[in-house]
Structure formats: structure tokens, C-alpha cells
């Protein structure tokens, strides 16, 4: 296994840094004398640098502090933006597409070389099961670089032979240019996957980036800097600034006048704040925001397939995936059987330690997020729900009791106007409601201000197409969920986002097209 040196390891014997989990050598900065805690640094202009304040990186599985994170101040965010601007004027700005693509493949190689480090860092930060981090998060990070490296080499552009009514002839063709410096702000639920989903196409298009990972999950963005160095990505092309949103690195970056575009994944109301921040300088934005996604189960579904699929859609990553189904609508004819089957599925989940291969349900990300999810469990009771299973906090009798676990939970009996049916909870929880007709199911699924994803479960081919096409969302799955092809459009309607990424949509967002008209 490659040793990762980005998070310094003067902490091996620190009982607080109980982290077989955080790669042994993650940080480079020795702490002040006698201070044994690992430090996660910023990465600016090709160097790992401290900040002038620190905050704790907490392991959600047991509440222990695993590292201190160096918060970037406003001057450092400015330095990061400046260094990105300078990188565009040096080697990176002159590289041809083929060479850029080669370097991005090397980034993917460097991630794969450090596979175990990335997995350990991701599970330490998020508490997610090792099975998930090693099957989804880290492989997808490498795939993001490979897919956009290949795509940018293959991508064609429009051209038109023009003839005007007065007989002029011309050739029009477009060329793709980078936007410049792109600010990338990302959340904590799939930290590396979502960060690389934006960084890879941004670099493929020739931009330089300043990323602000979530304050909850700073480790893998920092490790990625080491992979970038390894892959020969020049200094200044990839910068990492750590910190929070308002009054911290997130705000400093998004309102920076020399940032040319902002790409953001996170909560809808954070998207609204970022829109205000970018308004004075009219920056392009790409927003992937929250969801309150529906799953619609028809009586002609493959029952076992639907139960398994919706089990994933509700509980994967402890329900902390923007695409998760929190509203499940089931044909009344199979309602009771479906509720019983999903209950059994929920009760068979294994809330173990993240590093245990058998664990398939981790903790929530933080004490604060657990408070939020539990407040919805309480609200559901007040709104008159019946808990089919769960609704509380598990008891383990070991250190996990200091972590942020909640029980996987299923409610029935709420009205469609209940807040628990309308608001995104972002935990391992769903509400199941019966429907009596296809029209009613479609209306219920669409009765939301969000519009990210839906899944339809039916073996009737015509119905599958018919219902899928009526969903007011950006992504509809039929008889599957979170099955991804990275070339397809990805994004949301309504409160769920602005714009689409994926395939050519990403290339179009991360580049500026210059149309050239030549008189013939
Ligand atoms: P969040 O909006 O609280 O934070 C996301 C990022 O924005 C963090 O890095 C945070 O520090 C930063 N931030 C917060 N306030 C800011 C401000 N005023 N200015 C600049 N930056 C600011 O989201 P979260 O809690 O980290 O993630 C969970 C949310 O993300 C859920 O709503 C989920 O649905 C959504 N999400 C959406 C998608 C998608 O693809 N649509 C994917 C993942 C998560
Ligand atoms: C949200 O939590 C998940 C988003 C997934 C993607 O952006 C993706 O590309 O799979």
C-alpha cells in the first residue's frame, strides 16, 4: 500500500486519534511541541499550508476527534484563487487536450495506487461502511477522471455552412475554451465522489480549481492533492481551502471577484446564499441541490426486486444521498405486503463499525445532523405517523454509543401535506403511502417543490415509460436506483438545482464556447 503523507503523522500514539482509520501518515505539519493531533492542511499553489485557526474533524462512529483541520483565512483563499489564475498562464494553460487527458488518467492511477488510503480517510470522516467506500466512493473518483479525460478528447463541436439571403457565404464553427478559475464547493455525504465529479470535468476543460470541501469531511480532498502532485498536475491547478460556509472559506471563495464560475453541491438554501454571493459579478453557476424523492411501486412489479431496490434507495449511506427515496408510494393491492417486506429489510441492516466488512448501515455525519433527523422522528409522531420500525437511537453498549447512529425508520399514516412528507430529512427514513390509480401515484410523486430523482417499479414496459416521462425530475430510474452512466445528464428541477452535469453537459458548463464566423 502506498504511504500517504498529506496528513502528518505525529499522532500514532495519541489515544484521541484512534484511527486505524485515518491513513497513518496523512498530514505533513508537525504540531506545536507536545501536540500529537493530526493536522489536515490547505493546499495552495502546490504546497501544503497551515491556516491560522483549527477545527476538529470528528469520527461519526464514536465521536472521537481524528484530526484538527487548518481553516483557511480570507487572505489564503485569495492566494489560492491567485495561484489558480497564475497556473492558467503557465504550462497548464498551454497544454493540448491530449496531454491534459493523459494527466487526468494519471490522477486516476494515483487514486487507485492509494486506494486503501482514500477508503480509510473516507470512512474515518464519514463513518460510512467500508463496503460502500470501497465499492462506490473511491472507484467512482477514479472513474470520474477517466471518463472526462476520454470524453474531452472525443468531443466534437458544432459547425455550420452559412448562406445568407443576400448571398454571403461563411463557415461558422465553435471552439471550446476554459472558463478560467472555478470555485468548487461540496458536501459531506459522498465527499470524494462529488468533489471529483466536478473537478475532473473542470480540469478536462483546462480550468484551474479552488475547492472548498465540507468542514465535516476534509480528508480525501487533501489526499487528492497528493495524487495530483504524483500525476504531474502543475502547481496552482488544484487548490484546497478548508473551512465553513458563511464568514469562512466557502463565502470567501464564492464571492471572490476573480473566480469565474461556481459549481456547488449541497442544500437548496445554501445554493440560494451562493446565488446572492455570485450575483454582483454575474458568475455562471451549476447547482446540484436537495431532494425529496419518490419511489412508485406498482402491483405488477417484481416484488423482490422492488423491495431490494427500495431498501437501497432508502437506507444506502444511512439515507444521506441526495437521490435517496424518502417518499414511497405503493399500489394499495400490495401495500401491506410491501410494508412488511421493507420493515424486514430495515431490521436486518447491520449498524456495525464502519471498518467491519459486514456493516451496511453507518452513523449519520454529525451530532448536529442527528439532532435534525431525530427532530423529524419526533415531528412524525406529532403529525400522527405510525412507526412501522425504528424511530429512535440504537444502543450498542460500546463506543458506538458516543457516535451518531439512528435506527432505520419507516413511517406510515401521514397525510401528504405533513412536513415529514414535504421536507428533506436526509436520514435512513421513509414514509410509505398507498395509491389507487396510476394518475394518483403520478400526482403524489410530483407534489413537491424539489425535482431531483424518482424510481418506478413495474414490469409493464409501457407503464414504465409512460410514468417515467411524467416525472418532474432530472433523473428517473425504472426498476433500478442510482445506476449511473457518467455520460448522461445529471441534475434537478425546482429546488433541486440549476443546470445539468454529466457527459457533454459537464463539458459545456466548464467551458466557454467561442463561435468563429469566417466569410468564404
Ligand atoms: P450544505 O449546503 O450545508 O454544505 C455544502 C457545502 O457548502 C459545504 O462545503 C459548506 O461548508 C458550504 N457552505 C455552506 N454555506 C455556505 C455559504 N453561505 N457560502 C458558501 N459555501 C457554503 O450541504 P451538506 O449538509 O454538506 O450536504 C447535504 C445536502 O446536500 C442535502 O440537502 C443533500 O440533498 C444535498 N446534496 C445534493 C446532491 C445533488 O447532487 N443534488 C448531492 C449531495 C448532496
Ligand atoms: C448525491 O448525494 C449523489 C449524487 C451523485 C452524483 O452526482 C453522481 O454523479 O453519481
Q: How many CA atoms lie within 13 A of 94 on its CB side?
A: 4
Helices 438-446 + 461-470 axis angle, to 10: 30
Ligand 2, atom 4, residue with closest C-alpha:
322
Nearest residue CA, atom 7 of ligand 2? 194
Ligand nearest to the CA of 198: 2
Q: Mutate which of 137, 184, 193 to test ligand 2's pocket (most atoms within 8 Å of Cβ)? A: 193
- 10 Å CB burial of residue 215 (0-12, 13-18, 19+) is buried
E strand intervals along 266-301: 285-288, 293-297
User: Which residues participate in catalysis according to the annotation?
Assistant: 288, 322
Among 151, 186, 194, 475, the mutation site with the greatest number of ligand 2 atoms within 8 A of its Cβ is 194
User: Does residue 197 have its Cβ closer than 6 Å to ligand 2?
Assistant: yes
Contact 322 CB / ligand 2 (< 6 Å): yes
- 268 CB near ligand 2 (under 6 Å): no
pLDDT band of 39, cuts 50, 70, 90? confident
User: With 70 as the cut, is the pLDDT of residue 34 above it?
Assistant: no
Torsion (CA) 89, 91, 97, 98 in degrees, nearest 10: 180
Look at residue 22 in the predicted model and tell me its pLDDT: 52
Atom of ligand 2 nearest to the CA of 288: 7
Is the CB–ligand 2 distance for residue 202 below 6 Å? no
The tens digit of pLDDT for each residue in 221-266 reads: 999 999 999 999 999 999 999 999 999 999 999 999 999 999 999 9
State mean pLDDT over 149-168: 96
pTM across the whole model:
0.94
Is the pLDDT at 15 greater than 60? The verdict is no
Atom of ligand 2 nearest to the CA of 197: 9
Given the CA of residue 189, which atom of ligand 2 is nearest to it?
2
**Ligand 2 near 323 CB (within 6 A):** yes
> Would you state the pLDDT for residue 21?
47
Taking the CA of 262 as reference, the closest ligand is: 1
**Whether the Cβ atoms of residue 144 and residue 486 lie closer than 8 Å to each other:** yes
344 CB contacts (<8 Å, ≥6 apart)? none
Which residue's alpha carbon is at the smallest distance from atom 35 of ligand 1? Answer: 266
d(CA 418, CA 416): 6
Atom of ligand 1 nearest to the CA of 214: 9
Q: Is the pLDDT of residue 4 over 90?
A: no
Q: What is the position in ligand 1's atom list of the atom closest to the CA of 246?
A: 18
Residues 6+ apart with CB under 8 A from 292: 326, 327, 421, 422, 423, 424, 448, 450
Q: Which ligand is nearest to the CA of 289?
A: 1
Pocket mutation for ligand 1, best pick of 243, 256, 270, 498 (most atoms within 8 Å of C-beta): 270
Q: For a substitution probing ligand 1, which of 267, 272, 365 has the most ligand atoms within 8 Å of its CB? A: 267
Q: How confident is the model at residue 23 (pLDDT cuts 50, 70, 90)?
A: low
Q: Which ligand is nearest to the CA of 290?
A: 1
Alpha carbons within 13 A on the beta-carbon side of 468:
18
Helix (H, G, I), strand (E, B) or coil at 190: coil
- Tell whether ligand 2 has an atom less than 6 A from the beta carbon of residue 487: no
Strands (E), 346-407: 386-389
Residue 455 CA to residue 480 CA, distance in Å, equals 7
CA–CA distance, 419 with 425 (Å, rounded to integer)? 10
pLDDT at 42 over 80: yes
Give the model's pLDDT for residue 38: 81
Q: Tell me: the pLDDT tens digits for 163-206?
A: 999 999 999 999 999 999 999 999 999 999 999 999 999 999 99
For 26-40, what is the mean pLDDT? 53
| Ligand number with the minimum distance to the CA of 287 | 1
Q: Are 329 and 445 in contact (CB under 8 A)?
A: yes
Output the CA 287–ligand 1 centroid distance in Å.
10
- Nearest residue CA, atom 17 of ligand 1? 245
Average pLDDT across the chain, whole number: 93
The reply to whether ligand 2 has any atom less than 6 angstroms from the CB of 190 is yes
| Confidence band for 448, pLDDT divided at 50, 70 and 90 | very high
Residue 52: what pLDDT?
82
Atom of ligand 2 nearest to the CA of 320: 2
The answer to whether residues 412 and 431 touch, using CB atoms and an 8 Å cutoff, is yes
Amino acid at each position: 500500500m502506498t504511504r500517504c503523507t498529506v496528513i502528518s503523522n505525529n499522532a500514532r500514539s495519541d489515544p484521541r486519534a484512534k484511527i486505524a482509520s485515518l491513513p497513518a501518515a496523512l498530514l505533513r505539519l508537525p504540531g506545536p511541541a507536545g501536540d500529537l493531533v493530526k493536522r489536515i492542511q490547505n493546499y495552495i499553489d502546490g504546497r501544503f499550508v497551515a491556516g491560522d485557526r483549527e477545527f476538529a474533524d470528528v469520527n461519526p462512529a464514536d465521536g472521537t476527534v481524528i484530526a484538527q483541520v487548518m481553516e483557511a483565512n480570507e487572505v489564503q483563499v485569495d492566494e489560492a484563487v491567485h495561484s489558480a489564475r497564475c497556473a492558467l498562464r503557465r504550462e497548464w494553460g498551454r497544454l493540448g487536450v491530449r496531454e491534459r487527458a493523459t494527466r487526468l488518467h494519471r490522477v486516476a492511477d494515483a487514486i487507485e495506487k492509494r486506494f486503501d488510503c482514500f477508503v480509510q480517510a473516507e470512512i474515518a470522516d464519514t463513518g460510512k461502511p467500508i463496503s460502500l467506500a470501497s465499492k462506490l466512493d473511491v472507484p467512482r473518483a477514479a472513474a470520474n477522471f477517466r471518463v472526462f479525460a476520454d470524453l474531452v478528447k472525443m468531443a466534437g463541436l458544432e459547425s455550420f455552412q452559412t448562406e445568407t439571403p443576400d448571398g454571403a457565404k461563411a463557415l461558422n464553427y465553435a471552439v471550446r475554451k476554459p472558463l478560467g478559475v472555478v470555485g468548487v464547493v461540496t458536501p459531506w455525504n459522498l465527499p470524494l465522489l462529488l468533489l471529483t465529479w466536478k473537478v475532473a470535468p473542470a480540469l478536462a476543460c483546462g480550468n484551474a480549481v479552488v475547492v472548498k470541501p465540507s468542514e465535516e469531511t476534509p480528508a480525501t480532498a487533501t489526499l487528492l492533492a497528493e495524487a495530483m502532485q504524483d500525476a504531474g498536475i502543475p502547481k496552482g491547478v488544484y487548490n484546497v481551502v478548508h473551512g465553513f460556509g458563511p464568514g469562512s472559506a466557502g463565502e470567501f471563495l464564492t464571492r471572490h471577484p476573480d473566480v469565474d464560475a461556481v459549481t456547488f453541491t449541497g442544500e437548496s438554501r445554501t445554493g440560494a446564499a451562493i446565488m446572492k454571493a455570485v450575483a454582483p459579478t454575474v458568475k455562471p453557476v451549476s447547482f446540484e441541490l436537495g431532494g425529496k424523492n419518490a419511489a412508485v411501486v406498482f402491483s405488477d412489479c417484481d416484488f423482490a426486486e422492488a423491495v431490494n431496490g427500495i431498501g437501497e434507495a432508502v437506507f444506502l449511506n444511512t439515507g444521506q444521498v441526495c437521490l435517496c427515496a424518502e417518499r414511497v408510494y405503493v399500489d394499495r393491492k400490495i401495500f401491506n405486503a410491501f410494508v412488511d417486506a421493507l420493515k424486514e429489510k430495515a431490521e436486518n441492516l447491520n449498524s456495525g463499525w464502519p471498518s467491519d466488512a459486514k456493516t451496511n448501515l453507518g452513523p449519520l455525519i454529525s451530532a448536529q445532523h442527528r439532532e435534525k433527523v431525530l427532530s423529524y422522528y419526533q415531528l412524525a409522531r406529532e403529525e400522527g405517523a405510525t412507526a412501522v420500525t425504528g424511530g429512535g437511537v440504537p444502543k450498542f453498549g460500546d463506543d458506538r454509543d458516543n457516535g451518531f447512529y439512528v435506527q432505520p425508520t419507516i413511517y406510515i399514516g401521514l397525510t401528504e401535506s405533513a412536513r415529514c412528507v414535504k421536507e428533506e430529512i436526509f436520514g435512513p427514513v421513509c414514509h410509505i403511502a398507498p395509491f389507487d390509480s396510476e394518475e394518483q401515484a403520478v400526482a403524489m410523486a410530483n407534489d413537491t417543490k424539489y425535482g431531483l430523482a424518482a424510481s418506478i417499479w413495474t414490469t409493464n414496459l409501457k407503464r414504465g415509460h409512460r410514468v417515467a416521462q411524467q416525472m418532474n425530475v432530472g433523473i428517473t430510474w425504472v426498476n433500478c436506483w442510482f445506476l449511473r452512466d457518467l455520460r448522461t445528464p445529471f441534475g434537478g428541477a425546482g429546488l433541486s438545482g440549476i443546470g445539468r452535469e454529466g457527459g457533454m453537459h459537464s463539458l459545456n458548463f466548464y467551458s466557454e464556447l467561442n463561435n468563429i464566423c469566417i466569410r468564404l
